[in-house]
């Protein structure tokens, strides 16, 4: 058992997972799959599964990080029971006593490693959610080792939390069927309702890491199958820490991403991020509220109010080729739910005069 009794606050960055389709990636990128089938359990357990395929990952991929996001609600629906579950927040969900103390959740890897996300009242440390009489309503909870706060409290609330047990799957293969076990201890007409869930896996190939980003990586790149958009990179500093973790500091890079909104209008996102070995990771912001600034006469940059947009990860195979994947920020998706993540296979378009050319 690897149960946490307490956790120190971490100041590491957390990427909030959105429900996106899986995609084929290179080593180091994030692969996400979703199960959107609603379910309910009252007085027992149910299993829900997501299967990752070998082609989703680079050869010999090993897990370096796992995040899981679950949409759920613990209801006090009385005689409605499980029949009330298909629509979270539905009629009759707020009545009665939801008995949050009886719910449990766990995650099992394809290799059989089991981790507890949430304990019921008979768990080793008692109930994760301690109130029997207060409804938390529909929530979206992400369990992540990069979160700052341990899950728990009187009622479920939305956000990113450390699970009860470490998500210690590092070094395992991500390929295969992942199982989430949802539990509700007593049969009292107050089920645990699940709207859906997603699992995001970061992996690394055992043989990856040969390329190191250099100052000649200031350039423009695009995916030739997605003409009309692309990125510019500007190297601010090179890393003094290698991909294998030698002592030093990451490098710094500015990335500008020219893309399109849902109506097809051009828009820019940009951010400053880190460089380690062959990888750039950048938190992007975007001006997407219709308030400007607007290009042309009267342009006023002070009007800009950057909204959190996405965290991009670029893995470079060479100075001329790389793969960009990303996860949208949850606050952006809440306002713009139609966006879907995919990958871009980047090729180099330019060499900057005065820098060593990429050939």
Beta strand 176-184 with 307-318: parallel, antiparallel or unpaired? Answer: unpaired
Alpha-carbon span 158 to 169, nearest angstrom: 24
Give the per-residue pLDDT at 331: 84
Angstrom distance (rounded) from CA 359 to CA 348: 10
Query: Which is more confidently placed, 191 or 245?
Result: 191
Q: Which residue has the higher pLDDT, 344 or 177?
A: 177
For 300, the token pair is: 């006023």
pLDDT band at 218; cut points 50, 70, 90: very high
User: What length is written for the chain?
Assistant: 359
Q: What is the mean pLDDT of residues 177-205?
A: 91
pLDDT at 38 over 60: yes
Strands 139-143, 159-161: pairing kind: parallel
| Chain mean pLDDT for the chain | 81
Task: Kindly compute the dihedral angle of the four CA atoms of residues 33, 37, 38, 40, in this order, to the nearest 10 degrees.
Answer: -100
Torsion 339-320-284-265 (CA) sign: negative
Q: Do 7 and 162 touch, CB atoms closer than 8 A?
A: yes
Structure tokens at 219: 């350039």
108 cis-preceded (ω within 30 degrees of 0): no
* Residue 59 CB neighbour total at 10 angstroms: 10
Q: Do residues 323 and 346 touch, judged by C-beta distance below 8 A?
A: yes
Instruction: Name the CA radius of gyration of the chain, rounded.
Output: 22
Residue with tokens 């003094």: 240
ω before 36 within 30° of 0 (cis)?
A: no
Give tens-digit pLDDT for 44-74.
999 999 999 988 887 667 788 899 999 999 9
Say if residue 219's pLDDT is above 70. Answer: yes
């Amino acid at each position: 058992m690897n149960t946490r009794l307490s956790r120190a606050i971490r100041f590491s960055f957390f990427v909030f997972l959105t429900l996106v389709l899986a995609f084929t990636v290179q080593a180091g990128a994030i692969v996400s799959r979703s199960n959107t089938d609603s379910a309910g359990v009252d007085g027992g357990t149910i299993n829900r599964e997501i299967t990752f395929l070998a082609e989703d990952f680079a050869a010999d991929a090993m897990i370096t990080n796992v995040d899981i996001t679950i949409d759920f609600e613990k209801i006090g629906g009385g005689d409605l029971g499980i029949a009330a579950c298909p629509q979270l927040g539905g009629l009759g969900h707020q009545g009665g006593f939801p008995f949050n103390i009886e719910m449990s959740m766990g995650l099992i890897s394809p290799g059989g490693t089991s981790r507890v996300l949430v304990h019921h009242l008979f768990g080793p440390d008692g109930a994760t959610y301690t109130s029997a009489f207060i409804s938390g309503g529909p929530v979206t909870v992400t369990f992540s080792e990069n979160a700052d706060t341990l899950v728990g409290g009187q009622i479920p609330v939305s956000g990113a939390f450390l699970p009860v047990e470490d998500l210690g799957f590092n070094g395992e293969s991500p390929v295969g069927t992942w199982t989430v076990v949802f539990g509700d201890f007593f049969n009292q007409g107050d089920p645990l309702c699940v709207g859906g869930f997603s699992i995001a896996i970061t992996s690394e190939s055992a043989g990856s890491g040969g390329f190191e980003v250099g100052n000649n990586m200031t350039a423009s790149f695009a995916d030739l199958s997605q003409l009309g958009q692309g990125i510019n990179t500007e190297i601010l500093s090179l890393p003094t820490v290698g991909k294998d973790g030698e002592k030093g500091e990451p490098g710094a890079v500015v990335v500008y991403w020219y893309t399109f909104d849902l109506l097809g209008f051009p828009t820019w996102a940009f951010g400053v991020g880190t460089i380690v070995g062959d990888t750039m990771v950048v938190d992007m912001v975007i001006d997407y509220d219709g308030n400007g600034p607007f290009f042309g006469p009267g342009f006023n940059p002070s009007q800009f109010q950057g909204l959190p947009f996405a965290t991009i990860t670029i893995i470079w195979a060479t100075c001329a080729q790389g793969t960009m994947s990303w996860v949208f920020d949850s606050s952006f998706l809440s306002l713009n739910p139609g966006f879907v993540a995919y990958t871009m296979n980047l090729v180099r378009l330019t060499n900057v005069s005065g820098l060593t050319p990429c050939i």
